[in-house]
Structure 1
Amino acid sequence: MGCEEEVLKIKKKLDKMTSSDGDQTQALDILKVLQGLPINFQVLSKTRIGMTVNALRKASTDEEVISTAKQLIKNWKKFVPDKKDDDEKEGKEEKKKEKEDKKESKSNSNSSNNSNGSSSSSGSSKPVSFPTSAPPTTDSLRLKCREMIANALKLAEMPDGVVDTPESLAEKVEEAIYQEYRNTDSGYKNRLRSRVYNLKDSKNPQLRENVLRGVISPLRLATMSSEEMASAEMKALREKFTKEAIDDHQLAMAQGTKTDLLKCGKCGHRECTYNQMQTRSSDEPMTTFVLCNHCGNRWKFC
């Protein structure tokens, strides 16, 4: 938690440096501080410091700052798992649903053709969105991961209304993650670690209880982002830093002109403020700097 707070403070300073009139004299010192911090995948995903360092790299003219920023980003990329395109993921989910529908239809057809004595068994079948139990595995790594998730679910007293055993829920979560990656490489491991980390977070007991009560299904837990799993306290902290960053940008752009003709590429809103500055030779057109007043995103175009 200490590392994450430190990174968020540094991120706020770097955000100011990337503005058009930001002072970058201390940029190199701050980047060297980042190099000494024990930053992992969890800190990267929660703080998004990588995007800020990359923005500083683009905005800086100091070769040493650019080189240090590039090295930081290169080192951090090792922690980030490869993510599949949303379209590909949606396509897989649709194919999976189609297969389940076909199986259900075939099962119902077979039941209707059975003798009258089998009518009671056919009536008891119910379609489910996920297998009632995960397939067994002999892979030692996968078994260890299932055990880690189960231990995280059993970390504290069981709440009322538990829908399944921690072991069974853990098997389903691990199986869903494995089905997405189809291997146990770094992406699989990072996904598992983030589930365990958030389930064990003493400041976020609601996540664990919602999984045990069935409010959050194993499949849903397997695909949730860090932001979705975060505790209410962490979400409030992120909102606070975001608001402060927006306020800082708005203060810097106070003399700008408001317009709804420009659209933010990040949030899609048109509540923007722009300034024009002569950043090149006098015979070249001025550069327009735009600030989204809704999310704080800044960009420029000529």
Structure 2
Amino acid sequence: MDAKEIESKARALGKASAQKEPAPVIVGLLKELQTGIQATEDLLRRTKIGVVVNKFKTHQAPEVAQLASAIVSKWRQEVNKQKQRAASVASRGSNSPRPPQNGTGPSTPASVTPSDKASSLSVPPDKRTWKADGVDIAVTSSKTRDSCTGLIYDGLCLGSTEPPKVVLAKASAVEKAAHSLLGPETKPQYKEKMRSLFQNLKNKSNPTLRVRVLSGEVGPDQFVRMTSDELRSDQRRAEDEAIKKKNMNDAMVAQGEKSISTSLQCGKCGQRKVTYTEAQTRSADEPMTLFCTCVVCGKSWRQ
């Protein structure tokens, strides 16, 4: 697919989004891009297709959001591999050795971290955990904080194709923000917040939350301050609103007016202003039971 075709697909995606086309239409366009583009940095810059697809990572349809995330991650990995190959070729072509660090031998690139060994996925996205990805979550001097980092990692990586080191960096940033807001880690508020964030992240009915946090749309500081209502998915919020509206409508339905009997007397205040209802609580050949309420003092009884 050449640049002209890619730009045409980008316009089609923009039109589909503006006209609120159904998810299958958008998924079809995204799959054409997924299989038809051999990503290069120059091609992505010229067509700006990465920017267009990236916007669909927050789409309300889970299948659209996950596919867009997978495509962006794939293109990013392809471009990074091309850069690494170019750097390797340039390095081999250089005759001057790199100076040693601290006199101990060849220097190590600053970008290399313990999690780089897990730069590619070895398990399906829906089976990912920090253990399955093989990352090192020991980023602080506290076992409790490291465990919470692992917890957030497990919530963020579920269903995602983002590289492990990207997920780990985001999980670590979230834990750091929570610790700064609610720490130290011995406080119950800190532990409760981390468990709550994990539960919301792993909720399969709310996949856009994971995408929003990983993409940076929701920053770590904002994420740890979100209320339970803000953490809910749009679908869940709409369902709760519908239930609330139904309950309100039910409460506003006019109730049948009960008659007041003057033949029944309240045993507490002696007034003969009593409402009652009848129900057959005994055998059919016995009289019905009266459930009485005095409208003066509120005493209730049955007879």
Question: Structure 1-normalised TM-score?
Answer: 0.37
Greater Rg by CA: 2
More relative contact order, 1 or 2 (CA 8 Å, 6+ apart): 1
Question: Structure 2-normalised TM-score?
Answer: 0.37
